[in-house]
């Protein structure tokens, strides 16, 4: 079997969840976001690890993700936060007892119809537009939306109200406070109509860490459950463990002389005699071309810079400074090797992106192996 493997440490997800739970304990429930295949870690194992760590609910982006969790036996509350766009998806959420985020009358109608077909109610959380300008109902349109829901005579039931912050991981919190003021008004409107038990929630990882006043009844943790901070400007106040590591082996190693070129388009020319190793991973695995001549891997606990352009299936690295290197030796692309480590947020910087995308980009061709340590 291919030795290029993403190792997923469910134990790390469980312990991260326990730490977040303790951090917000007493004031709020905890939803763990497992959308997009658990941020690339696998949706089902991530969900069970989060529940074992004390998560009260799970968050997904699309109904199919919720259905996958139900099909694998998850009984916990699930909220689908994306837009609901067709009858088929409405059937998926209603028959799967998945709570749906809604912000428009069309989705309310789709859900009411699905509820009639299934002969059971559809539970929803109202998504409020407060400044992200992505999905949500504006405060001035909220009463009309609630009227449309009430007109379904209980087929659609309001169980929550939520919004999403655009800048909670930024140093300057002014915009979050503006968003929060709009949200607070929406929460009052919804709770006045349906009661205090309606769940209000707003905080993603950045706000959980930085803004305890915005916890409301529940928080929605994503990236911190997987062991990363949402950005460089947040307090690293939880002792998180990254759950994702990416390893391969050396598939070839050779000496090149000064002036010899490595890889496509000869973007790297050896300045002197060098030892060059090949690693069987490339952009076909989501190890991005943008890392070419910028990033490094670890071999024998030392950095091995990427030389030349990342190919579809392979990448070449400079192992001159890595001691004795042989075919079959371990290569760490994300994770720890001996004293050295390279984490996804460092990899992200090579491509001017965020750690979320680095892990999510690793394609299904890379086998995921779950461990619990
Ligand atoms: C993805 C997502 C989150 C989690 O965001 P993190 O930054 O990963 O914590 C929270 N809420 C919504 C609506 C999301 O889509």
Atom of ligand 1 lying closest to residue 61 CA: 15
325 C-alpha to ligand 1 centroid (Å): 42
152 C-alpha to ligand 1 centroid (Å): 30
CA 40, CA 363: separation in Å to the nearest integer? 9
CA 16, CA 360: separation in Å to the nearest integer? 19
32 C-alpha to ligand 1 centroid (Å): 9
CA 336, CA 334: separation in Å to the nearest integer? 7
175 C-alpha to ligand 1 centroid (Å): 17
- Smallest CA separation from ligand 1 atom 4, residue: 222
Beta bridge partners of 127: 162
What tens-digit pLDDT sequence spans the chain (373 residues)?
Answer: 999 999 999 999 999 999 999 999 878 999 999 999 999 999 999 999 999 999 999 999 999 999 999 999 999 999 999 999 999 999 999 999 999 999 999 999 999 999 999 999 999 999 999 999 999 999 999 999 999 999 999 999 999 999 999 999 999 999 999 999 999 999 999 999 999 999 999 999 999 999 999 999 999 999 999 999 999 999 999 999 999 999 999 999 999 999 999 999 999 999 999 999 999 999 999 999 999 999 999 999 999 999 999 999 999 999 999 999 999 999 999 999 999 999 999 999 999 999 999 999 999 999 999 999 9
* pLDDT, tens only, 129-138: 999 999 999 9
Nearest one of 125, 123, 133, 195 to 165, comparing CA atoms = 133
Q: Supply the pLDDT for residue 27.
A: 84
Domains of the chain, each with CATH number or no CATH? 10-226 (3.20.20.10), 244-371 (2.40.37.10)
249 C-alpha to ligand 1 centroid (Å): 34
Which residue among the candidates 23, 35, 48, 228 is catalytic per the annotation?
35
Q: Supply the pLDDT for residue 122.
A: 98
Tell me the pTM.
0.97
Helix (H/G/I), strand (E/B), else coil: 188: helix
Pocket of ligand 1 (CB under 6 A): 33, 35, 81, 164, 204-205, 220-223, 230
Atom of ligand 1 lying closest to residue 101 CA: 13
- Smallest CA separation from ligand 1 atom 6, residue: 222
Atom of ligand 1 lying closest to residue 168 CA: 7
162 C-alpha to ligand 1 centroid (Å): 12
Q: Residues of 192-219 as b/e, b for ≥16 C-beta within 10 angstroms?
A: eebeeebbbbbbbbbbbbbbeebbbbbb
Q: Is 35 a catalytic residue?
A: yes
Q: Supply the pLDDT for residue 205.
A: 98
Atom of ligand 1 lying closest to residue 39 CA: 8
Q: Supply the pLDDT for residue 349.
A: 97
Q: Is 177 a catalytic residue?
A: no
For residue 39, is it left (φ>0), alpha (ψ between -120 and 50) or beta? left
* pLDDT, tens only, 204-244: 999 999 999 999 999 999 999 999 999 999 999 999 999 99
**H/E stretch holding 210:** helix 205-210
Of 29, 179, 220, the one to substitute when testing ligand 1's pocket (max ligand atoms within 8 A of C-beta) is 220
Which runs of E-coded beta strand occur in the chain?
Answer: 5-9, 29-33, 57-60, 78-80, 99-102, 122-127, 156-162, 199-201, 218-221, 244-249, 252-256, 261-262, 268-269, 274-279, 296-299, 302-305, 315-318, 330-337, 340-342, 367-371
Helix (H/G/I), strand (E/B), else coil: 339: coil
Atom of ligand 1 lying closest to residue 221 CA: 9
Beta bridge partners of 315: 279
Q: Supply the pLDDT for residue 323.
A: 98
Q: Supply the pLDDT for residue 128.
A: 98
């Amino acid at each position: 079997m291919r030795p290029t493997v993403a190792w997923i440490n469910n134990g790390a997800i469980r312990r991260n969840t326990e730490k977040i739970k303790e951090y917000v304990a007493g004031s709020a429930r905890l939803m763990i976001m497992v959308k997009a295949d658990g941020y690339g870690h696998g949706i089902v194992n991530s969900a069970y690890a989060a529940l074992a760590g004390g998560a009260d609910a799970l968050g997904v982006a699309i109904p199919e993700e919720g259905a996958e969790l139900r099909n694998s036996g998850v009984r916990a509350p699930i909220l689908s936060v994306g837009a609901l766009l067709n009858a088929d998806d409405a059937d998926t959420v209603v028959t799967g007892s998945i709570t749906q985020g809604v912000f428009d009358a069309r989705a309310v109608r789709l859900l009411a119809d699905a509820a009639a077909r299934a002969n059971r109610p559809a539970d929803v959380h109202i998504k409020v537009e407060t400044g992200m300008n992505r999905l949500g109902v504006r405060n001035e349109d909220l009463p009309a939306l609630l009227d449309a829901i009430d007109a379904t005579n209980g087929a659609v039931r309001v169980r929550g109200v939520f919004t999403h912050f655009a800048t909670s991981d930024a140093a300057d919190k002014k915009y979050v406070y503006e968003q929060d003021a709009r949200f607070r008004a929406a929460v009052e409107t919804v709770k006045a109509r349906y009661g205090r038990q309606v769940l209000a929630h707003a905080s993603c990882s950045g706000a959980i860490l930085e803004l305890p006043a915005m916890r409301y009844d529940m928080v929605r943790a994503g990236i911190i459950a997987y062991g990363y901070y949402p950005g460089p400007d947040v307090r690293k106040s939880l002792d998180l463990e990254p759950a994702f590591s990416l390893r391969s082996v050396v598939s070839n190693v050779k000496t090149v002389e000064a002036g010899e070129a490595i890889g496509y388009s000869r973007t790297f020319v050896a300045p002197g005699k060098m030892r060059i190793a090949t690693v069987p991973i490339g952009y076909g695995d989501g190890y991005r071309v943008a890392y070419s001549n910028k990033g490094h891997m670890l071999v024998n606990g030392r950095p091995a810079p990427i030389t030349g352009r990342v190919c579809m299936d392979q990448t070449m690295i400079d192992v001159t400074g890595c001691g004795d290197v042989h075919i079959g030796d371990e290569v760490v692309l994300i994770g720890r090797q001996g004293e050295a480590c390279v984490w996804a947020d460092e990899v992200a910087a090579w491509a001017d992106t965020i750690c979320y995308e680095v892990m999510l980009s690793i394609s299904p061709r890379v086998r995921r192996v779950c461990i619990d340590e």
